[in-house]
Amino acid sequence: MNLCRAMLWAIPLGLVSSLGAAAFASTIDLEVLPLTTQSNPQGSGCPATLRAYETPDPYRAGGFSTQGMIQLSAIATDISVSQSDRFSTTWVGTIKPQYRNCIASAGMSMVDGKSYAGRSYIRVQIVDGKAKVILDMTGMGDANRLTSVILAHALRDGNPRWTWGGTD
């Protein structure tokens, strides 16, 4: 029995059940990459990172789904969905005053504290006083080489939320 399983068996079953899938959430750090311009040569005024979370839903035969959210309200207000289809959703918000000079993009750089080198399906653009979060499943295949899709999108507590999934 590996160490993870041994640790899981050491946790009381009632506690695991009450925590549910939230106990297994992944923390995703998105590195903010400023764009330098003549008016802003240092690319200053940007946050260093943004944080997102994803939690797999309980297993269901034939498919999987993952719940996610990004803490966009840390840098923006008045957030709403501006575009959505089966493959991507974009949320847009107005940048908070302390970030008004920020021109940057961001992509997934760490998952649970470990470097992430895969395709960033969560991206952020900060430009012209707006922050855009783009969740994009385009080209993201599942175990059966079918496209993963966006199953739901919403806002809760001022932050973008989503569910995406595929077949297993």
pLDDT in tens, 54-93: 999 998 888 999 999 999 999 999 999 999 999 999 999 9
Q: Where do we find the tokens 């750090």?
A: 29
Is residue 34's pLDDT more than 90? yes
Q: What is the pTM of this model?
A: 0.82
Region 15-40 average pLDDT: 72
Residue 43 pLDDT: 66
- 36 confidence band (pLDDT: 50, 70, 90): confident
From the number of C-beta atoms within 10 Å of its C-beta (0-12, 13-18, 19+), residue 62 rates as exposed
pLDDT higher than 60, residue 150: yes
* Strands 104-111 and 26-34, bridge-based pairing: antiparallel
> What is d(CA 104, CA 159) in angstroms, rounded to the nearest whole number?
19
Residue with more model confidence, 120 or 1: 120
Higher-pLDDT residue of 146, 40: 146
d(CA 130, CA 38): 20
Q: What pLDDT does residue 40 have? A: 65
86-142, pLDDT tens digit by residue? 999 999 999 999 999 899 999 999 999 999 998 999 999 999 999 999 999 999 988
Closest to 76 (Cα-Cα) out of 138, 128, 143, 37? 128
Are 163 and 151 spatial neighbours (Cβ–Cβ below 8 Å)? yes
Please count the other Cβ atoms lying within 10 Å of the Cβ belonging to residue 80: 10
* Per-residue pLDDT at 2: 38
Q: Given a cut of 70, is residue 13 above it in pLDDT?
A: no
